Amino acid sequence: DNRDKMDPDSWSTCPFCDSPVPSSQLQLHANAHFHDPELPQQPLQSLPSEYCNYYGGETSRDKEECSMDEKISCLIGLQTRSKFYKVESGLMTLLRNCLESETENSKTVLSGYVDHFQSLDSEDAGWGCGWRNIQMLSSHLLAQRPEAREVLFGGSGFVPDIVSLQRWLEVAWEKGFDAPGASQLDHDVYGSKKWIGTTECAALLRSFGFRARVVDFGPKESQSVVGTNVDNTDDKASSEAYQVLMDFVWNYFSDENTVQFGLQHVVVGEKTPLYFQHDGHSRTIVGVQAKHQRDGILTYNLLVLDPAHSITALERSLKKKMGWQKLIRKGTNTLKKPQYQLCYVDPGIASEEEMEKLKTMDSVFFEL
């Protein structure tokens, strides 16, 4: 049917019950069959692929449960590549050029390739930052790790849009990854504006075999809490307390086994970016800078990509080497929340035995 599906006068036939349905409502009507057994069913083989339901419900021949393999196969075929503004010369290359042009006594370690995924007013402004950070982390994995391209998002080789990621997360939950987190969000995120965080990121990536790790920073009483919602209190840790977080990030990126500065003061390491979560927002840490003060003390700056920032404005400031510092460089003085969470991905792909262990979420805790 080539008629305009947004035209209210355009009608289509439901592939389940042969009923005439407004084309604009066809998918909603068809999906209802998966959840209402009283509606008449036709054999699954008569369904076009776009009506395959891969996120639960009654979906198979003779009312047998659709297999996980069938759901995943369908999702692989239906997922959509996310649209984003691609910086022609590479965002991280521009950032590296800016850092190398600085004359201050400093050392910087960066992640490799990362694309910036911006939250859009028309799509996800106000709630989608978590999904955008997953997209940024995924762009790095696809570009930097050959083994990732084979397994991530079914070997599609691209970063899916938010609704496709939502379906992948539900598949991860159905496989048994992060059962408490799935329950907290009622096992349902597809098409919603629900907030997600580090544990959802880790669960999604673990379902593909990635060794995604979660790190918590906060007051001692929060040590046992691992989850999406970071507690928001009025207590503010001192700058000295936040040094624990800064030290962790520096040690993470500047692993002695992988980073050798030599005569360079800016190097590209092998570590993935860090999904950086706090109450109300999340961003992506793509590197860290250490500066030597006159008294010999090191101070750190996180290098952060924010989904809320305009990528075109960011690109312009990096190309001109003006104003980028305010957008990307974040010192200890910018850390004001009582709790933070990080998510990163260790190298390699887990074995089947390890995958079972990865279904249970855990984290390393540091007291602020």
Residues forming the active site: 129, 281, 306
Token look-up 């389940």 returns 16
Structure token pair of residue 101: 């042009």
| Residue 66 CB neighbour total at 10 angstroms | 19
How many CB atoms sit inside 10 A of residue 201's CB? 28
Burial of 20 (0-12, 13-18, 19+ CB in 10 A): exposed
Close Cβ partners of 340 (under 8 Å, ≥ 6 residues apart): 216, 217, 218, 230, 245, 276, 277, 278
Cα→Cα distances 353→44, 202, 356, Å: 34, 18, 6
Do the Cβ atoms of 131 and 277 come closer than 8 Å? no
Q: Degrees (nearest 5) of the Cα angle 311, 318, 109?
A: 100
- Residue matched to tokens 């407004």: 22
Q: Is 320 exposed, middle or buried (0-12, 13-18, 19+ CB in 10 A)?
A: exposed
> What radius of gyration, in Å, describes the C-alpha atoms of the chain?
23
Q: At what angle do helices 162-175 and 198-206 cross, to 10 degrees?
A: 70
- List the structure tokens of 50: 């776009």
Angle between helical axes of 129-144 and 162-175 (0-180°, round to 10): 80
> By the 8 A CB rule, do 250 and 288 touch?
yes
